[in-house]
Every structure is written in structure tokens, then in C-alpha cells.
Amino acid sequence: MINIRNLKLEELNDILIKAGYQRFRAKQIFNWLKLGRVADFDLMTNLPADLRKYLKQTFVLNSVKLERLLKSSCGSATKMLCRLLDGNLIEAVIMKYKYGFSVCVSTQVGCRMGCAFCVSGMHGFVRNLDAAEILEQVLLAREFAGERIGHVVLMGVGEPLDNFDNVVRFVELISSTEGLNIGQRNLSLSTSGVVDKIYQLMDLKMQITLSISLHATNDSLRNRLMPINRRWNLSQLLEACKEYFRATRRRISFEYIMLNQVNDSMVFAEELKRLLCGFAAHVNLIPANCGRGDFKSSDPKVIKAFQKRLEDLGLNVTVRRKLGDDVNAACGQMRSSCVK
């Protein structure tokens, strides 16, 4: 049985009409669904009993259960460990910023990309999440926050573009007026660089922010850190980014993890500048969380100097605030400590 939240309004409409129900019923159900998580179809009291029975026999209503909450000591990040119906665990992180709440959601159980510094792929790939499972993480976060979620970032466990159809459906559902109505400009998708899917995404002309996990400025280092670079190298990736920008006019954000003595010397700052020359780009430096392997984060002083050099070279740079290190806020870390 599929989760009803995977359906768009018109799809539910078609199903209900075929099953002999009236046209306005789908809208009534959607009004319930956008209120948040409803424990049971029977609580949808404005629906007739036979429709509620039909819904129960046909659809799943909730497929993500909160298993554990971990709050950071500073209170700005909370990690939710969630159990799926098949027993798999996923995680999402709620972050409180000055302008409101943001939630970072997972798109897969595990990841097949195998980046050298990342724990998400350490246990391999298990399965894709469906759109409803991604959406429910946002609903859970909203329940926790007690207010509207301003931003959603697809930066949890998994490679979103390796789960293309479900992720696109999620974006369409969450941004629809009959859904949570979160504007696409408030959604960010981070990718390790699945180039063919970047082109597919471009053709959809969505207004989401695309983030590229760059992390290295030459192919030999990037091959070592991110195996996907052997499939699509830096020049292919950057060409796709240029095309993407041309087609959507959306500024691309480049993520760069600061790894001590791996990619943090000034030579790399110069290389980065050369690579992003001519881009309306934004660089986000990420202090590394203790992840996989022997990688360590660069010293804060080194990060500052790197930022300054990039700024002097004319790039637009921010350093990601380190949120919730004490709750293992890096992607995959909490799940990883729970998966045997």
C-alpha cells in the first residue's frame, strides 16, 4: 500500500472518482493532510464512514515515526531519529536561525556515492525514500518547532539526485498551494554532482536553490574524496552548473568542506577562484564534522584565512555555523551510531 501523501490532488481525485466518490472529497482530504500528521483516517470526521473505510484499506497514512530526539546544548539544532515502516532508520535535523526554523531532511536510507569523509554512505545504500517519507520529516519538524518551517534543505542522508523522481515529486508536493505551500525558493537541494540529473532538473525549471558539494578544486583530489568525480569530472560538473544557471537564473551555491591539510591551503583558494570564474556563485565553507576516515576539520583560523583569501579574490563566501556538533548533526552520524 502506498502512503496517501505521495499523491497529488488531481491523482487522488482521479482515484476517488473511479472508486465512486464525489469530486470534492479529495480536496477535503488534502485539507486534513496539510494540517499536519493525522493519527487515523477515522479522525477525518467530515468524511463519510464508507470513504474512511476505503481510505484505510487503500492507503497508508503515516510512515515515519519519531524514535528519538537529540538536542544540542546550544539549543539551536535538534536531531530527529525516525523509524520507517520497514524498520529502517532515517534522520532529519531541525535548525533554529534568527529568521525561523529550517529542517534538513534525508532522501535515502544510506547512500551509494561513497564519499571518503562522509558517514552516510558507510553502511552502503539501502533504499530510496518515497516523497511522503521525505514530506513527513518536515511535518514532524513542524510539530516539534510548533511553528511554520521556513526552509527545507535536502542535505540529510542520501544523494537527492540519485532518487530523482521521488525528490521532484516531494518538491512539487511541498510547494503546492494545496500542500504545505513552502515556496520553491525556500528549498535547497545539495548534490555531489550527478551531472545527467542536473540537466534533467534544469529542464523542470524549478525555483529551488541548487548546492553543489564541490570539496576539491582539481580532479585528482576530487577523485580521491568523491568517487562520483570519476564518472563526471569537474569540468563536466561546472559546465552543467553554467547551463543550469543560464536556464534558471538561480545562483548556485558551492559547498566546500574544510579538511585539515587536505584541501585547506591557499593554493586551493586560488584554484577555487579559477574554477568559479564567471559564475554567479556563492561559496559556503563547511567546518568538517568528524566523519569517516582520518579527516579532521581545519582550524578555525585557517578557515577564516581561507575565507578572507577567497573574498579578496572576489568571491561571495560564508562559513557555515557549526550547529549541534554534540548531537552529531553531520549527516548520517546519528543513524550510523544506531545501525549495527
Interface ranges with ligand SF4 (CB under 6 A): 111, 113-115, 118, 120-121, 157-159, 192, 213, 331
Q: DSSP letter at 87?
A: S
Q: How far is the CB of 120 from ligand SF4 (least distance, A)?
A: 4
* Closer to ligand SAH by Cβ: residue 4 or 154: 154
- Closest of 320, 270, 323, 339 to residue 125, by C-alpha: 339
Binder among 51, 155, 241, 329 for ligand SAH (CB under 6 A): 155
Other C-beta atoms lying within 10 Å of the C-beta of residue 229: 23
Is position 255 an interface residue for ligand SAH (rule: CB under 6 A)? yes
When CB distances to ligand SAH are compared, the closest residue is: 291
* Closer to ligand SF4 by Cβ: residue 13 or 163: 163
Residue 179 CA to residue 173 CA, distance in Å, equals 6
- Written as nine digits, the cell of 97 is 536561525
Which active-site residues does the annotation give?
Answer: 91, 331
Is position 285 an interface residue for ligand SAH (rule: CB under 6 A)? no
* Closer to ligand SAH by Cβ: residue 13 or 217: 217
Q: Which residues pair with 212 in a beta bridge?
A: 191, 254
Binder among 128, 188, 213, 248 for ligand SAH (CB under 6 A): 213
Binder among 110, 179, 291, 324 for ligand SAH (CB under 6 A): 291
Q: How far is the CB of 324 from ligand SF4 (least distance, A)?
A: 18
User: For the residues of 251-301, what is the DSSP string, one character each?
Assistant: PEEEEEEEBTTTT-SHHHHHHHHHHTTT--EEEEEEEPPS-STT--BPPHH
Residues of this chain that interact with ligand SAH (CB under 6 A) are 117-118, 155, 159, 190-192, 213, 255, 257, 286, 288-289, 291, 330-331
